[in-house]
Chains A and B, each alone.
Chain A
Amino acid sequence: MEELARIVPYFGTHNPKAARSIVIAIMLLAPIAALGVGPAWVRILDFALLYVMLAVGLNLVVGFAGLLDLGYIAFYAVGAYTWAFLASPHFGVHLPFWVVLPLGAGFAALAGVILGFPVLRLRGDYLAIVTLGFGEIVRIFMNNLNHPINITNGPQGINMLDTLHIFGWDISKRVAITDDFSINPLLFYYYVFLGFVVLSVILVKRMQVSRIGRAWAAIRDDDLAAKAVGINLRNCKLLAFAMGATFGGVAGGLFGAFQGFVSPESFSLMESIIVLAMVVFGGMGNIGGVIVGALILSWLPEVLRSYAVPMQTAVFGHVLLDPEILRMLVYALALIFMMLLRPAGLMPAHSRYSKPELVLGKGGKGAEVQA
């Protein structure tokens, strides 16, 4: 909960209670405000939440355990394709979400372990290259597994995925309140995704302040010393890959349901890099920072998309820079300035792996971390 307050600069440390309520109010009201501007903006918010889930999951691998993973989007793909196989007319299977999502998470975790085994002995650059290769392998599989037996339908992707039905209620349908007032389903998706994000953050926080989180941090800081205090490096690293992948898998399933369509091009290397950029931009290892990073970096390009074209036409009479190019430019600039001005990220890790107050009592003397 403290993280929620810290998201608000200055105010958060001076009046955490108020800051926290503000953040919660924004979280709950944002989509309604966005709907006032236009439904497209709610859609962008929905996607932003999926990116938050991805960033939170990747942060667990990169920020906590220090394992640089450039193929993280592969787990998102596994989750999305699991949804596509088990909840679409493609194979004619239509299982409910409470079966498909856990299965997607499970397959993604399995993929995480499969990636984990060969890279156990690798670190830094070498690890990055292998994970990058892994991400590409998964994408290329999706692209080519339509022949001789059609499994993934190749580059065309799989269409008409089942929408999210929560105990019989299809949340992708408008709910009519009166004849001329109905609730946009994008809102329902927002709150469902928000629920998943909150759950993910709670689970990740629990892991962080535990025996497992501390073991991950120990491996990140000094793997030789970690061995010397009796940590089983193999198991700990595999668990980090598997747990990180799980969140990717769930986000992937939700993506499939939301989008109604999956194809390999959604899972390109660029996507992996964007998620990593969100983690680095926000502040590696700090969940609050990572969330803010993901929100900013998923909003920014959309803002550009909708304002860059009209603005350029107004000023120059024609479009000089395509929004897609601008997007990359802004990402690059954001990261460069970040590295120069705040190398530890927007919100450097305040993250703690213990609760001294368990012993010292709330607000106990010396409970504050000295950096």
Chain B
Amino acid sequence: MIKLLEARGIHKRFGGLQALTDVSLSINKGEIYGLIGPNGAGKTTFFNVLSGAYTPESGEFVFSGSELPYGEPHKIVQRGIARTFQNIRLFRELTALENVMVGHHTRSTAGLFGILLQRKHVREEERLVTERAFELLRYVGIERFANTVSKNLSYGDQRRLEIARALATEPQLLALDEPAAGMNATETSHLRTLIETIRHDGVTVLLIEHDVKLVMGLCDRVAVLDFGKKIVEDVPAIVQKNAAVIEAYLGGAHA
């Protein structure tokens, strides 16, 4: 197993609240890794620290062999980590196609003067980016809405679009923050197929999710956070039987 991402002793505090306490975990290349836990356990905080939105008090992330920089989200994206948001954050006024094209930003090179002069390589790149964006829309299954302004897409399609936009950054690790939230059973099963396809195509997936059935069925390994601490990290079958996990979810009486 090749480790893709290793978190070492991540601490994050908000004033008096210790959001993450000494969280260490490692994600192998090519797996679907689930991060679960009750509300307020620190899952999204972990995502925000990983993606550079927050700076941790201590600890470090090692990503494909070298440490990640702090506090500069765009550099983390360049290194190959993409994320989606728990509450969908699309570029509302842009079409679906343009949203995905924005995702290509770090993987394209056109500079100001090249654009102003419409140099040949810039025009060529623009065409390639458009083409690639169409491919990604097809990949997530919303190609027919390519020219629809994204705020007018249905909820499920907005979720898909966010994933397509994240994939456009050409990540090695795709971090999905509750992608199934608010989805009905059919949409969730489509999502499941999509995540499996993404993994099959060589992208490692980190998944935060409340839908325990989805997580247990989909993930190769699962880590459980409770009050900012990792209580267990293992294959789903073992995690499900873990006393501490059952206590965290259902309360002490059931333990």
- Which residues of A come within 8 Å of B, CB atoms? 203, 206-207, 209-212, 214-215, 217-218, 220-222, 224-233, 239, 243, 285, 349, 352-356, 358-359, 366-371
Question: Given A218-B94, A224-B89, A368 and B147 touching (CB < 8 A)?
Answer: yes
B91: interface (CB < 8 Å): yes
Are B112 and A239 within 8 A (Cβ)?
yes
Are B74 and A232 within 8 A (Cβ)?
yes
User: In the bound complex, what is the Cα–Cα distance between A356 and B101 (angstroms)?
Assistant: 11
B219: interface (CB < 8 Å): no
Are B105 and A211 within 8 A (Cβ)?
yes
Instruction: Pick from B92, B95, B148, B165: contact of A352, CB below 8 A.
Output: B95
Are A369 and B94 within 8 A (Cβ)?
no
Instruction: Pick from B93, B144, B152, B169: contact of A230, CB below 8 A.
Output: B169
How near does chain A come to B123, taking the closest CB pair, in angstroms? 9
- Closest A-B pairs by Cβ, 6 of them: A230-B77, A230-B106, A221-B91, A225-B89, A227-B73, A370-B148
User: In the bound complex, what is the Cα–Cα distance between A212 and B152 (angstroms)?
Assistant: 24
B53: interface (CB < 8 Å): yes
Are A228 and B147 within 8 A (Cβ)?
no
Q: How many A-B residue pairs have CB under 8 A?
A: 140
User: In the bound complex, what is the Cα–Cα distance between A214 and B73 (angstroms)?
Assistant: 18
User: In the bound complex, what is the Cα–Cα distance between A232 and B69 (angstroms)?
Assistant: 14
CB within 8 Å of A: which of B21-45? none
Are A371 and B152 within 8 A (Cβ)?
yes
Are B131 and A359 within 8 A (Cβ)?
yes
B110: interface (CB < 8 Å): yes
User: In the bound complex, what is the Cα–Cα distance between A352 and B91 (angstroms)?
Assistant: 13
Instruction: Pick from A207, A227, A233, A370: contact of B147, CB below 8 A.
Output: A370
B18: interface (CB < 8 Å): no
Question: Given A214-B105, A218-B102, A354-B97, A225 and B73 touching (CB < 8 A)?
Answer: no
Question: Given A222-B89, A222-B92, A229 and B147 touching (CB < 8 A)?
Answer: no
Question: Given A210-B110, A217-B98, A229 and B103 touching (CB < 8 A)?
Answer: yes
B216: interface (CB < 8 Å): no
Are B149 and A221 within 8 A (Cβ)?
no
Residues of A within 8 Å of B83, CB to CB, are 228
Interface size on B, residues (CB 8 A): 51
The residue on B at minimum CB distance from A217 is: B94
User: In the bound complex, what is the Cα–Cα distance between A358 and B126 (angstroms)?
Assistant: 8
Residues of B within 8 Å of A212, CB to CB, are 110, 112, 115
User: In the bound complex, what is the Cα–Cα distance between A211 and B115 (angstroms)?
Assistant: 9
How near does chain B come to A240, taking the closest CB pair, in angstroms? 11
CB within 8 Å of A: which of B156-205? 165-166, 168-169
User: In the bound complex, what is the Cα–Cα distance between A222 and B129 (angstroms)?
Assistant: 21
Residues of A within 8 Å of B127, CB to CB, are 358-359
How near does chain A come to B118, taking the closest CB pair, in angstroms? 6
Given known contacts A217-B91, A229-B102, A352-B98, what 17 new A-B pairs fall within 8 Å (CB)?
Answer: A211-B126, A214-B102, A214-B105, A221-B94, A222-B92, A227-B74, A228-B83, A230-B73, A230-B77, A231-B74, A239-B112, A353-B94, A355-B130, A359-B127, A369-B147, A369-B149, A370-B147
Are B91 and A210 within 8 A (Cβ)?
no
Interface centre among A209, A211, A214, A232 (most CB of B within 10 A): A211
Are A210 and B98 within 8 A (Cβ)?
no
Residues of B within 8 Å of A221, CB to CB, are 90-94
Residues of B within 8 Å of A356, CB to CB, are 97, 130, 134, 146-147
User: In the bound complex, what is the Cα–Cα distance between A285 and B168 (angstroms)?
Assistant: 25
Interface centre among B98, B126, B169 (most CB of A within 10 A): B98
User: In the bound complex, what is the Cα–Cα distance between A207 and B111 (angstroms)?
Assistant: 10
Residues of A within 8 Å of B134, CB to CB, are 356, 359
How near does chain B come to A198, taking the closest CB pair, in angstroms? 14
B240: interface (CB < 8 Å): no
B122: interface (CB < 8 Å): yes
